[in-house]
Amino acid sequence: MSRLASIYRELRPWLKLLGRRRGRLALGALLMAITAFAGIGLLALSGWFITATALTGMLLAAGVAASLDVYVPGGGIRFFALTRTVARYLERVYNHDSVLRLLADLRGGMFRVLVRLDGQALSKRRASEWLNRLTADIDTLDSLYLRLLAPPLVALLAIAGLTLLIGVFLPWAGALAGGLLLGLWMLLTLGQARLGMAASQRRVASLDRLRSRAIEHVQGLAELSAYTSLAAHRRRLDEHQQALYADQRLLGRRAALGNALVGLGVGVTLLAVLWLASLAYAGGVLSGPLVVMMPLAVLALAETLGLLPSAFTQLGATRAAARRLNALGAAQGAIDDPKQPAALDSATPRLAFEAVSLRYPGALQPALEQVSLCLEAGQRLALLGASGAGKSSLAQLATRLIDPQVGRVTLDDQPLAELALHEVRGCVGLLTQQGELFDDSLAANLRLGAPQASDSQLWQALATVELEVWAQQAQGLATRVGEGGQQLSGGQARRLCLARLLLAEPRIVILDEPFAGLDAALAERIAARLDHWLAGRSLLLLCHQRQGQPLATLGVSDWTQLAAGRVVASKHT
Amino acid sequence: MGPQDAALTPRRWLGRLAARQRRLIGLSMGAGLCVGLATIVQMALIAGWLSALLVDDAEPAALAGLGVALIVVLALRAAAQWAQEVAGQEASLRIRQAARSELLAHIEALGPVRLGGRHSAALGGQLVEQVEALDGYFARFLPQLRLAVAIPAVIAVLVLWLDWLAAIFLLLAAPMIPLFMALVGIGAERLNRQQFAAVSRLAGHFLDRVRGITTLQLFNRAEQASAEVHAAADDYRRLSMRTLRLAFLSSAVLEFFAAVAIAVLAIYIGFGLLGYIDYGPSPQLTLFSGLLILLLAPEFFQPLRTLSQHYHDRAAALGAADALVALLNVPLAKGTARRQPSDGQSGVSLDGVSVTFAGRGRVLGPLDLTIAPGECVALVGPSGAGKSTLLQLIAGFVDSDTGRVTVPAGEVAWMDQRPLLIHGSLADNLRLAAPEASDADIERALEQAGLGELLTELPAGIDTALGERGAGLSGGQAQRLALARVFLSGASLVLLDEPTASVDDDTQMALIEALKALTAAGRTLVIATHHPALMGMAGRVVRLENGRRIDEVMP
Nearest residue to A189 (alpha-carbon basis) of A69, A309, A25: A309
A65 in contact with B at a CB cutoff of 8 Å? Answer: no
Q: Quote the percentage of chain A above a pLDDT of 70.
A: 97
Spatial CA neighbour of B416 closest among B392, B447, B441, B396: B392
Give the chain B residue whose CA is nearest to the CA of A400. Answer: B218
Give the mean model confidence (pLDDT) for residues A375-395.
89
Q: Which of A197-211, A250-264, B302-316, B350-364 has the highest mean pLDDT?
A: A250-264
- Specify the pLDDT at position A42: 92
Partner-chain contact A54 B218, CB within 8 Å: no
Say how many C-beta atoms besides its own lie within 10 A of residue A383's C-beta: 26
- Give the list of residues 6+ apart from residue A492 with CB closer than 8 angstroms, or none: A467, A470
| pLDDT exceeds cutoff 90 at B35 | yes
Q: Within 10 Å of residue B453's Cβ, how many Cβ atoms?
A: 9
CATH number of A10-329: 1.20.1560.10
Angle between helices A288-299 and B287-328 (to 10 degrees): 10
DSSP letter at B554 equals -
Q: What is the spatial distance between Cα A20 and Cα A109, in angstroms, rounded to a whole number?
A: 13
pLDDT of residue B7 exceeding 60, the answer is yes
> CB B215 to CB A432 under 8 A?
yes
- Put simply, the answer to whether A386 touches B46 (Cβ < 8 Å) is no
Q: Which among A53, A101, A436 has CB closest to B270?
A: A53
A508 HSE (CA, 13 A, CB side): 27
Confidence of residue B118 (pLDDT cuts 50, 70, 90): low
ipTM for the complex? 0.87
What confidence score (pLDDT) does residue A103 get? 85
Q: Which residues from B are below 8 Å from A255, CB to CB?
A: 85
More confident residue, A388 or B130: B130
| Closest CB to B74 among A57, A264, A401 | A264
Return left, alpha or beta for A482; rule: phi > 0 is left, psi -120 to 50 is alpha, else beta: left
Distance CA A564, CA B338 (A): 51
Angle at B118 between CA B117 and CA B124, to 5 degrees: 155
All residues of chain B having their beta carbon less than 8 Å from the beta carbon of residue A438 are 208-209, 212, 215
A326 pLDDT more than 70 = yes
Q: What is the DSSP letter of A176?
A: H
Instruction: List the single range of A77-81, A114-118, B31-35, B484-488 with lowest mean pLDDT.
Output: A114-118
The CA–CA distances, whole Å, from B449 to B469, B478, B480, B512, B518 equal 20, 11, 6, 10, 10
Is B334 a residue whose pLDDT tops 60?
Answer: yes
What's the pLDDT band for B2 if we cut at 50, 70, 90?
very low
**What is the arithmetic mean of pLDDT over B328-351?**
74
User: Which residue from B123, B208, B504 is facing A218, i.e. has the nearest CB?
Assistant: B123
Q: Which of A100, A223, A230 sits opposite B414 (nearest CB)?
A: A223
Residue B44 scores a pLDDT above 70: yes
Q: Nearest C-alpha of chain A: how many angstroms from B440?
A: 20
B198-247: pLDDT as tens digits: 777 777 788 788 878 888 888 988 888 899 889 988 888 887 887 777 77
Domain boundaries, chain B: 10-328, 338-553
A70, A387, A421 ranked by CB distance to B504: nearest = A387
Query: What's the whole-model pTM score?
Result: 0.85
Q: What's the pLDDT band for A267 if we cut at 50, 70, 90?
A: very high
In chain A, what are the domain boundaries? 10-329, 351-571
Fold of the CATH domain B338-553:
Rossmann fold (3.40.50)
Residue B539, Cβ neighbours under 10 Å: how many?
15
Q: Which of B418, B479, B127 is nearest to A212 (CA)?
A: B127
H or E segment and range at residue B495 = strand B493-497
Q: Which residue from B206, B208, B473 is facing A135, i.e. has the nearest CB?
A: B206
Chain B residue numbers touching A259 (CB-CB < 8 A) = 81-82, 85
Q: Is the pLDDT reported for residue B294 higher than 80?
A: yes
Neighboring chain A residues of B225 at a CB cutoff of 8 Å:
111, 115
Nearest CA in chain B to A398: B218
- What's residue B469's pLDDT? 57
**pLDDT digit string, tens, across residues A337-374:** 888 888 888 888 999 999 999 987 767 778 899 999 99
Q: Are B457 and A365 an interchain contact pair (Cβ–Cβ within 8 Å)?
A: yes
Query: For chain B, what is the mean pLDDT?
Result: 85
Which pLDDT value is given to residue B555? 45
Average pLDDT value for residue range B129-154 = 93
Q: Is B476 within 8 Å of A245 when comparing Cβ atoms?
A: no
Q: What is the per-residue pLDDT across B371-396, written as a single tens digit (0 to 9) for each?
A: 998 899 999 888 778 888 899 999 88
What's the mean pLDDT in A461-473? 92
Query: How many Å apart are CA B187 and CA B244, to the nearest integer?
Result: 9
Q: Is the pLDDT of residue B553 over 70?
A: no
Whole-number pLDDT of residue A151: 95
For residue A165, is pLDDT > 90?
yes
Shortest alpha-carbon distance between residue A161 and chain B (Å): 21
Question: Within a 13 Å sphere around the CA of A475, how many CA atoms are in the beta-carbon half?
Answer: 9
Confidence grade of residue B80 (pLDDT, cut at 50, 70, 90) = very high
Return d(Cα A92, Cα B267) in angstroms, integer.
Answer: 29
pLDDT at position B477 is 81
Q: Are domains A10-329 and A351-571 of this chain identical in fold? A: no
The pLDDT assigned to A330 comes to: 73
Of B9-23, B143-157, B330-344, least confident by mean pLDDT is B330-344
**Widest CA span of chain B, in angstroms?**
114
Residues of A in contact with B433 (CB under 8 A): 223, 227, 229
Cα separation, B29 vs B520, whole angstroms: 68
The string of pLDDT tens digits covering residues B151-204 is 999 999 999 999 999 998 888 876 666 676 676 666 666 666 666 677 777 777
| Alpha-carbon gap: B230 to the closest alpha carbon of chain A (Å) | 4
Provide, as residue numbers in chain A, all residues whose Cβ is less than 8 Å from the Cβ of B218.
399, 401, 425, 429-430, 432
Distances (CA, A) of A32 to A86, A139, A285: 11, 22, 34
Identity of the residue in B90, B259, B290 whose CB atom sits nearest the CB atom of A50: B290
Q: What angle do CA B320, B326, B328 make, to 5 degrees?
A: 100
Give the other-Cβ count within 10 Å of B114's Cβ: 18
Confidence of residue A414 (pLDDT cuts 50, 70, 90): very high
**If you count residue pairs, one on A and one on B, with CB atoms under 8 Å apart, how many are there?**
408
Chain length of chain B: 555
Q: pLDDT over 70 for what percent of chain B? A: 90
Chain B contact present for A480, CB below 8 A: no
Q: Please choose, from the candidates A386, A224, A127, A433, the residue with its C-alpha nearest in 3D space to the C-alpha of residue B474.
A: A386
Q: What percent of chain A has pLDDT over 90?
A: 58
Q: Per the CB < 8 Å rule, is A212 touching B100?
A: no
pLDDT digits (tens, 9 = 90+) for A33-80: 999 999 999 999 999 999 999 999 989 888 888 888 888 999 999 999
Homologous superfamily of B10-328 in CATH?
Answer: ABC transporter type 1, transmembrane domain (1.20.1560.10)
Q: Are A400 and A335 in contact (CB under 8 A)?
A: yes
Question: What pLDDT, in 10s, does the model give residues B418-435?
Answer: 788 888 889 999 998 888
Residue B109 CB burial class (10 angstroms; 0-12, 13-18, ≥19):
exposed
Query: What is the mean pLDDT of the segment spanning B290-303?
Result: 92
Window 114-133 of A, Cβ < 8 Å to B: 114-117, 119, 122, 124, 126-129, 131-132
Cα–Cα distances in angstroms (integers) from residue B77 to residues A313, B37, B39, B82, in the given order: 21, 9, 7, 9
Pick the CATH number of A351-571 from 3.30.70.890, 3.40.50.970, 3.40.50.300, 3.60.15.10: 3.40.50.300
**Least Cα separation, residue B430 to chain A (angstroms):** 11
For the residues of A357-421, what is the DSSP string, one character each?
EE--TT-SS-SEEEEEEEE-TT-EEEEE--TTSSHHHHHHHHTTSS--SEEEEEETTEEGGGB-H
* A268 CB within 8 Å of a chain B CB: yes
Task: Check residue B3 and give its pLDDT.
Answer: 44
Q: If pLDDT is split at 50, 70 and 90, which confidence band does B287 have?
A: very high
Mark out the alpha helices in B163-175 (DSSP H runs): 164-173
Interface test with B, best of A147, A204, A217 (most B CBs within 10 A): A217
Helix orientation angle between A150-169 and A22-61, rounded to the nearest 10 degrees: 30
For residues B381 and A140, give the distance between their C-alpha atoms in angstroms, rounded to a whole number.
53
Q: Are B405 and B339 in contact (CB under 8 A)?
A: yes
Lowest mean pLDDT among A115-124, A411-420, B47-56: A115-124
Cβ atoms of residues B304 and B148 within 8 Å: yes
CA distances from B489 to A1, A26, A36, B342, B496 (A): 56, 66, 68, 19, 14
Q: State pLDDT tens for residues A506-564.
A: 999 999 988 877 788 899 999 999 999 999 999 999 988 777 788 888 889 899 999 88
Average pLDDT over residues B501-530: 84
